[in-house]
Structure 1
C-alpha cells in the first residue's frame, strides 16, 4: 500500500514523509513547482493503489485541478489535502472536486498517520484485513505497522517489525541469514550479519520471547534463526 506525497519542495515533503515512513508506509514523492506533468496523472489514474497526499505548499487551484484529474481514474483512491484551517472557501472547492479528507496545519505527525490509516481501512478494507494476523497473545497489523501483546502496543522500529512478522509467519521454520537479509534489508552483504544479530536480540527482548511465555527464538548454528512455540 503506497502513500503518494506531493508538494513544492523537498523539505515540505520530508516533513510529511518522515512520520509515514517510520510507521511502515511505502512513500513515493513528487516535487511540483508548476503544472502537474501529464505523465504523473497517467501514473495515478492507471491502477494506483494507496493514498494521495497534497501538501500545503501547492497552489489551491492546482490542488483542485489535481483532485478532479485523480477522480477520472478507473480505480478509486483517497486524496488527502494538507491546508490552512482558515481557507474554508478552498476546502469547499476541494470537497466538490472529490477530496476525501483534509488535515490542517500545524501538522501533527500522529494525526497524519491516523488519518492515512483510517482512509486505507475505509477504501481498502480487504487489503487491511489481509494484513492482520494473530499468534497467541500477539496481533500484528499494517497501515500503520503495529504489534499488540495482550492488547498492549509494543513499540518497534520498521526493521524490527518486519523481522518479527517474518519470524511469526514462519514459526517453527528455520530462516537462513540470506533469507532474512534479502527480505528485510533487500541485500545479502556480509556486513549485515551483526545487524541481524542485533535486531534479533531487540525483537526477542521487546516481545519477551521466553520459554516461560511460550516462545523460544533460537539461533540455528551456521544457518540463521528459528522461532518456535514451546
Structure 2
C-alpha cells in the first residue's frame, strides 16, 4: 500500500521509508508541506504521515486540506512536541492517529498496519456496508434493519459513510462539515447536531443511549468498532 511521508528531517524520513518498507509499504518521501500537497493532489495516497512542524505548510493545516480532498485517506501526525493541545487540534482537523517523537518503531509499524486495514475496508461508492445490525445501501438511499427499510437523505448517507470508514476513531465536527456540507459552511451552526439527532432516531434502537453514533465530547462523533446493541 502506498504511503506519503512528509518529514523535513531527511534522516528520520529515510529511516521511516526503510522501516515501513519492511512491511511492504511503498513510501514516497517529501521534505515540506507544499510538496506533500502537490504529490497528494497529483495522485491521492491511502495513507499519509505528516510531521507537524515543517517548511512550506505545517502539518496541521495540511491535514485539514488533505482531509477535505480525500475523506477516506488515513492520516497520521508526527510531532516532537507532546502537548495535549497538539493531539486535540490534530483530531479536530481530521487526523486519524498521532505519534509523538521519539517513537517506538514497533508501535509505529503496528499503528500503520491498523491504518492500512482501515484503508482497505473503505467501501466503493455503491457498496453496501454494515453498522451494528443495520445495513446501509447507498444506491437505494436506505438503511435496513430486520428487513425494514429506512429512507436516508444524501447528507445522512454522507455522515454515515464517513463515520463508518473511520470506525473506532473520533471524527471531528470540522471534518464532518467539510466533507458533508463543504469547507465554506459556517462550523458554529447546530445543523450537524440536528442531523445526528435525526439519524439516531432512524437507526438507533434507543436514540437516548446511542450505540452506533457516539458523541465524543469536545471533538465530534464516532462509530465504535464493535457497537453494542
Query: Which bracket does the TM-score occupy, shorter chain normalised?
Result: 0.3 to 0.5
Larger Rg: 1
TM-score normalised to the size of structure 2?
A: 0.47
Structure whose residues are more often helix by fraction: 1
User: Normalization by structure 1: what TM-score?
Assistant: 0.47
